[in-house]
Structure 1
Amino acid sequence: MAKCVIGEGFDPNVFDSIKLPKRPKPKNQLAPTYDELGGECSGVFGGGYPLGAVKLNFKTKIGDFAEVKAGGSLNNDSGDFFGNMSSSYAMKEHGLTFSESWDTSRTLGTGVSHEDNLVDGLKLGISTSFSADTGDKSCALKAQYKMENLALTMNVDGLGTDDSTVGGSSVFAYDKFMVGYQMAFSSENSELSKNNFAFGYSMGDFVLHTSVNKLKEYTGTIYRKVQPNLETGVQLAWVSDDSEATTFGIGCKYDLDENVTLRAKVDESCGVGLSLQAKIREGISFTIAALINARSINEGGHKIGMALDLEA
């Protein structure tokens, strides 16, 4: 039987200097805020439908610390044009982000936020706005704290105006279940302007969300990712004291390939929405969408829109 002999020049401690790479620990997913509950359906029903307008959007980044956005929208019916421009500057080592914005209604906005520096998961922010036409000024304070099983928010809007609002929300998440509450108090009316409850259930590719707003408006969404390139959704809203306010919709989003996305949706009034979004080349994408009144095709009421997005 062969024997392994360690020579005199061999250092048995040599293996102590060899360091194997450590596997990174999986980062726990943070609980969503109240406004983020049910957001999975937004990609099915909300995005990709620039209806009734022609839009141009531009975005560029300057290194890792600055981002500039500009956009314009022309309303097909009224011919009104609306444009906006915004920029943000980040100081990541200090957790600070500075932002400013301007639009064609001559409204100026500024903001400062501080995130994940004092405490992990804590974000603090202040924003102001000023209208050059009316002279109106306002200020808003916001705070958000996220951890694995809990998300809290608090905000004060309309500081400096006659109608300031104090609001807050909380979401508790356990395993696949989420329960949330949202409230807002208006100083002008001295009453609760929001008194909302929500429940969610998420399995990754299947998400169920329901909410009750002011104890009279009931909403619900169901999201299902059938395949990696196919997403479907159903949404329903019902108001207890107004039977005509009931809304219903079903939609889907299909990625034909990595450059082309198709969307379709149908609502309770037989409005059929269709959308085609194509990436022409790196940094350039084009979207065209239509909303067809299928109940009365000959009576008109159809909408069409398109958007061009540029990124450099």
Structure 2
Amino acid sequence: MSLPQPVPPSWKDLGKSSNDLLGKDYYLHGTSLEVKTFTPNNVTFKVAGIRDAKTAVINGDIEAKYADKSHGLTLTNAWTTHNVLRTQVELENQIAKGLKFDVGASLQPDKLAKTTTVNATYKQPGLHTRAALDVFKGPTLTADAVLGRDGFLLGAEASYNVTEGRVTKYSAAVGFSAPEYAVTVHGLGNLSTFAASYYHRVSKDVEAGAKAIYDTKATTSGVSLEVGTKAYLDQAAFVKAKINNAGVLALGYTQALRPGVKASFGIALDTQRLNDAAPTGPAHKVGAHFVFEA
């Protein structure tokens, strides 16, 4: 008798462990700040901003999220410094168990730019499928599905332009996921770009991962390769490091200063241009990120 199958990850989360290891917690493009506050009636306020190190431009947004867990309802509203208004309404596990609907819309009044996307997600043991309809672009229907059994994963995604009556994009992926490691291979962009990722939890304090990308349409030949690691110094701090085949080395350090306060610092060095005058020159990048929660 086979064991009950868990719900597999969604299409966008295939290879997530490796992507998070190589992509998150590296703050390299300026200084950013995030402040979160929570109210007793399940409302979360978030203010975030970033000052770009190259242009010195400050971009930010303010967001309010209300969650009614008993009715599976979540309402999110946001306003950005680019004068973009965003609204998202989510309804989960009300029509059927494992079924979630959400509608997202944005409006930029000064440019009369607007978007609306209707999404549906259905999750069951061994199956995770999603569909999204972009109302004003096409309209375009995008659907994906991931099947999982005994750790093996098989996924596919396709986009269909309703007006033109044709498939505009398709991708596929296979992988294997276990508690200590995961391997995923993607065929993206109508199978013109291939990506392979690997993640390994070496111990409770050390993680390692790698990602290789081969683009058949790229003007330069060869495979892009990136490897990285994460090490926990203690319960409140960790360091990360990664390097790619172009010789760019990135380092990240995150420290929990106290409950609700976290600071992260990052630096990227082009090891082939270490003789540049200053670490903040065009070949190198530095940044910092601060989070306050109350």
TM range (shorter): over 0.9
- Is the 2:267–2:284 Cα contact (8 Å) retained in structure 1? yes
Please show how residues 73-222 of structure 1 align to structure 2 within 5 Å. Answer: 73-157=50-134, 159=135, 161-186=136-161, 191-213=166-188, 214-222=190-198
RMSD between aligned alpha carbons?
A: 1.8
- Give the distance between the partners of 1:64 and 1:120, measured in 2 at CA: 25
Select which of 198, 204, 212 maps to 1:236: 212
Q: State the match for 1:281 in structure 2.
A: 258
Q: Distance in 2 between matches of 1:199 and 1:115?
A: 28
Q: Summarize the Cα distance change of 1:273–1:127 in structure 2 as closer, same or farther, 3 Å threshold.
A: same
The Cα of 1:264 is off from its aligned counterpart by 0.1
> Residue deviations 1:57-95, cap 9 Å, x none?
011211262111110000011111100111111112211
The SS at the match of 1:43 is: helix
Q: Which residue of the partner structure matches residue 306 of structure 1?
A: 288
Please give the TM-score of this superposition, normalised by the length of structure 2: 0.92
Of the candidates 278, 290, 293, which is equivalent to residue 267 of structure 2? 290
**Which of 216, 227, 249 is 2:203 aligned to?**
227
The question of whether the paired residues in 1 share the 8 Å contact of 2:5 and 2:126 is answered with no
**Amino acid across the alignment from 1:295:** Q
Computing the radius of gyration over CA atoms, which structure comes out larger, 1 or 2? 1
Q: CA deviation at 1:190?
A: 5.5
2:55, 2:243 → 1: CA distance?
A: 26
The C-alpha deviation readout for 1:111-138, integer Å capped at 9, x for no partner, is: 1111012211111011111102201122
1:272 paired residue number: 249
Which amino acid counterpart does residue 199 of structure 1 have in structure 2? V
Displacement of 1:243: 5.8
Query: Which blocks of at least 5 consecutive residues in structure 2 are unaligned?
Result: none
Q: Aligned partner of 2:125: which letter?
A: E
Q: Which runs of 5+ in 1 are unaligned?
A: 1-25
User: Matches of 2:231 and 2:251 in 1, distance apart?
Assistant: 12
Distance (whole Å) between structure 1 residues aligned to residue 209 and residue 215 of structure 2:
21
Q: Give the whole-Å Cα distance in 1 for the aligned partners of 2:102 and 2:111.
A: 25
Asked whether the equivalents of residues 67 and 87 of structure 1 are also in contact (C-alpha less than 8 Å), the reply is: yes
Using structure 1 for the length normalisation, give the TM-score.
0.87
For residues 216 and 165 of structure 2, the distance between their equivalents in structure 1, rounded to whole angstroms, comes to: 24
Counting matched residue pairs gives 285
Query: SS of the residue aligned with 1:227?
Result: coil
